[in-house]
């Protein structure tokens, strides 16, 4: 954009007859990204009333430099927004006030979703069911803000938000599972020192890929002397084999199947005997079938008899809302795109990936895959517009640099640092839990989340081989919503209640 502005100035002064005899004014030099990252910071004071209580708080926006440990060169700067309850509030004591570091996923996503969707004192105003309202979009006071329980630091990893590598050739260093964990870990270490918060109870919250980051950080931080009180995993994926539809990977199909059932139930595509039952009861049946019948059938595959295949088709169709013909044509393995396209094909509608309650309209109803994700379409414009207005108008942070909300800033392939095909940070979390038996884990899953299915999360947790004394440190809560369950009004309230109870439990001595 800067280059095109300079070019337009150049063309104007070349062809304008009124300036041909004069020395044209030189355009103001455009600052480099490095100069921009060196100069901007802001601090503002605010207040909000929550449950009849006034909370006065300070918001700090700025950058944290990440330096090369050997050369001292600044290699990147991470943008963050920190909310700190002011000392004027009763019972505020920084030495025992919890501190929570928050990030979203992607990889390539900024922290805006948890920030303006659930945790912060402002939230994006969506319709009660989470659907997109008509523009212009608005921020409103968030009566469910987590600031009542903990101070909050929202982190944008390198390549997201305003966070940038100082040189293009340094960027790929941060675009990997390990590089990402190391950079966020260094940010946390620096923040604790600069803000004098080493004695605070510490929490991490991640969403989606951010849960894999949080799990990796749990052990990374412990090895550097930073023990956590708790980790909150929202729409979790720690073992990526559980969500990858790849040739030869049959693990995924039984694990996503109950999410297919939930979606079909929501859209009233199940047989009457199932449709009339409560969702949780139907899911219990679908889970039981997926484990005891569907998974073994995939192991047998071509060794199944004709009668076994017929029984499989009947049950599969009954619990999914899909036709037997479609199931058989796909060899009893329905990937997510195929399901989202097929379930409501006769209505010329598709279902969402992030939230399968949402439906979209494709130009061509006969194609194999959805053209777009209606659930992403519902959230991206409201969150983009409101953040860009909020950070300037309310937080006093102004920049022409693009704030990368989702994608755009990761300009190289993400390195998953794997040797056996799939990234898996569950082992990191297991190790951290063994070393720090006081650390608690909270898991939030949406029944209509097709991106990180709740049953896949259950499998991952069950396969961690934890000692029985540590299993009690994990608590799981479910929501009748999708990947970002907090966009739905009732789930937003429930998530806050669950999180408050978890934080209080995790800080008891």
Alpha-carbon distance of 132 to 127, in angstroms, equals 6
H or E segment at 94?
none
In this predicted structure, what is the pLDDT of residue 365? 92
In this predicted structure, what is the pLDDT of residue 386? 98
Q: Mapped to the 3 state alphabet, what secondary structure does 377-437 carry? A: HHHHHHHHHHHHHHHHHCCCCCCCCCCECECCCCCCCCECCCCCCCCECHHHHHHHHHHCC
The pTM for the full model equals 0.91
In this predicted structure, what is the pLDDT of residue 29? 41
State the number of CA atoms in the 13 A half-sphere of 203 facing the CB. Answer: 30
222-275 residue pLDDT tens: 999 999 999 999 999 999 999 999 999 999 999 999 999 999 999 999 999 999
Written as tens digits, the pLDDT of the chain (509 aa) is 333 333 332 232 222 323 333 334 444 444 455 555 555 688 999 999 999 999 999 999 999 999 998 898 999 999 999 999 997 655 567 778 999 999 999 999 999 999 999 999 999 999 999 999 999 999 999 999 999 999 999 999 999 999 999 988 888 889 999 999 999 999 999 999 999 999 999 999 999 999 999 999 999 999 999 999 999 999 999 999 999 999 999 999 999 999 999 999 999 999 999 999 999 999 999 999 999 999 999 999 999 999 999 999 999 999 999 999 999 999 999 999 999 999 999 999 999 999 999 999 999 999 999 999 999 999 999 999 999 999 999 999 988 899 999 987 776 678 887 766 789 999 999 999 999 999 999 999 999 999 999 999 999 999 999 999 999 999 999 999 999 999 999 999 999 999 999 999 999 87
- Residues 181, 429 contacting (CB under 8 angstroms): no
Token readout for 364 is 């061509």
Tokens 């920190």 sit at which residue?
82
Alpha-carbon distance of 471 to 199, in angstroms, equals 27
Token readout for 343 is 């379930």
- C-alpha distances in angstroms, 270 versus 261, 292, 340? 8, 21, 15
The residues pairing with 54 across neighbouring beta strands, listed in sequence order, are 49
* Nearest of 196, 5, 183 to residue 82 by alpha carbon: 196
Q: For strands 53-67 and 202-208, give the pairing.
A: unpaired
- C-alpha distances in angstroms, 442 versus 213, 283, 366, 500, 501? 15, 21, 42, 11, 10
Contacts of 28 (CB under 8 A, 6+ apart): none
Length of the chain: 509
| Sequence ranges of the domains in the chain | 33-242+407-506, 252-372
Alpha-carbon distance of 270 to 263, in angstroms, equals 10
Alpha-carbon distance of 361 to 366, in angstroms, equals 12
State the distance between the two ends of the chain, measured CA to CA, in whole angstroms: 55
In this predicted structure, what is the pLDDT of residue 13? 25
Biggest distance spanned by C-alpha atoms of the chain? 92
- Residues 357, 264 contacting (CB under 8 angstroms): no
Residue 74: how many other CB atoms lie within 10 Å: 18
Alpha-carbon distance of 66 to 104, in angstroms, equals 20
Alpha-carbon distance of 429 to 401, in angstroms, equals 36
In this predicted structure, what is the pLDDT of residue 94? 76
- Residues 357, 335 contacting (CB under 8 angstroms): no
Residue 498: how many other CB atoms lie within 10 Å: 19
CATH 3.40.640.10 corresponds to the domain 33-242+407-506: no
- C-alpha distances in angstroms, 37 versus 49, 64, 154, 158, 409? 34, 9, 17, 12, 15
């Amino acid at each position: 954009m800067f280059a095109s502005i300079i070019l337009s100035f150049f063309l104007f002064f070349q062809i304008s007859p009124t300036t041909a005899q004069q020395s044209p004014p030189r355009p103001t030099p455009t600052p480099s990204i490095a100069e921009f990252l060196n100069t901007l910071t802001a601090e503002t004071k605010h207040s909000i009333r929550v449950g009849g209580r006034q909370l006065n708080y300070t918001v700090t926006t700025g950058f944290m430099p990440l330096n090369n440990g050997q050369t001292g060169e600044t290699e990147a700067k991470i943008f963050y927004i920190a909310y700190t309850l002011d000392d004027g509030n009763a019972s505020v004591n920084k030495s025992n006030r919890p501190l929570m570091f928050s990030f979203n996923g992607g990889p390539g996503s900024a922290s805006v979703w948890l920030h303006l969707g659930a945790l912060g004192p402002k939230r994006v105003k969506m319709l009660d069911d989470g659907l997109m309202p008509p523009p212009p979009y608005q921020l409103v006071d968030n009566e469910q803000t987590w600031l009542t329980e903990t101070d909050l630091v929202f982190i944008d990893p390198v390549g997201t938000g305003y966070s940038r590598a100082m040189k293009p050739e340094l960027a790929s260093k941060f675009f990997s599972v390990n590089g990402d964990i190391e950079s966020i870990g260094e940010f946390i270490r620096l923040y604790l020192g600069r803000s004098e918060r080493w004695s605070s109870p510490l929490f991490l919250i991640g969403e989606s890929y951010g849960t894999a980051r949080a799990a990796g950080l749990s052990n990374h931080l412990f090895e550097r002397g930073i023990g956590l009180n708790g980790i909150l995993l929202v729409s979790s994926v720690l073992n990526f084999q559980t969500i990858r539809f790849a040739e030869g990977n049959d693990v995924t199909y039984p694990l996503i199947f109950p999410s297919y059932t939930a979606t079909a139930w929501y859209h009233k595509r199940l047989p009457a005997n199932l449709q009339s039952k409560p969702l949780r009861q139907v899911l219990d049946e679908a889970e039981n079938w997926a484990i005891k019948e569907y998974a073994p059938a995939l192991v047998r595959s071509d060794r199944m008899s004709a009668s076994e295949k017929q029984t499989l088709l009947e049950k599969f169709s009954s619990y999914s809302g899909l036709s037997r013909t479609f199931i058989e044509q796909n060899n009893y393995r329905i990937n997510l795109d195929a399901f989202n396209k097929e379930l409501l094909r006769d209505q010329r509608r598709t279902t969402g990936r992030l939230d399968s309650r949402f439906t979209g309209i494709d130009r061509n109803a006969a194609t194999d895959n959805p053209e777009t994700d209606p659930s992403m379409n519902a959230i991206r414009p409201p969150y983009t517009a409101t953040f860009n207005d909020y950070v300037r108008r309310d937080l006093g942070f102004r920049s022409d640099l693009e704030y990368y909300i989702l994608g755009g800033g990761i300009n190289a392939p993400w390195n998953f640092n794997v040797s056996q095909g799939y990234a898996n940070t569950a082992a990191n979390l297991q190790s951290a839990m063994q070393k720090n038996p006081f650390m608690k884990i909270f898991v939030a899953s949406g029944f209509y989340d097709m991106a990180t299915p709740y049953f896949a999360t259950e499998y991952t947790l069950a396969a961690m081989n934890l000692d029985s004394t540590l299993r009690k440190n994990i608590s799981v809560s479910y929501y009748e919503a999708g990947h970002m369950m907090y966009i739905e009004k009732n789930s937003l309230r429930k998530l806050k209640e669950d999180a408050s109870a978890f934080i209080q439990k995790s800080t008891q001595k």
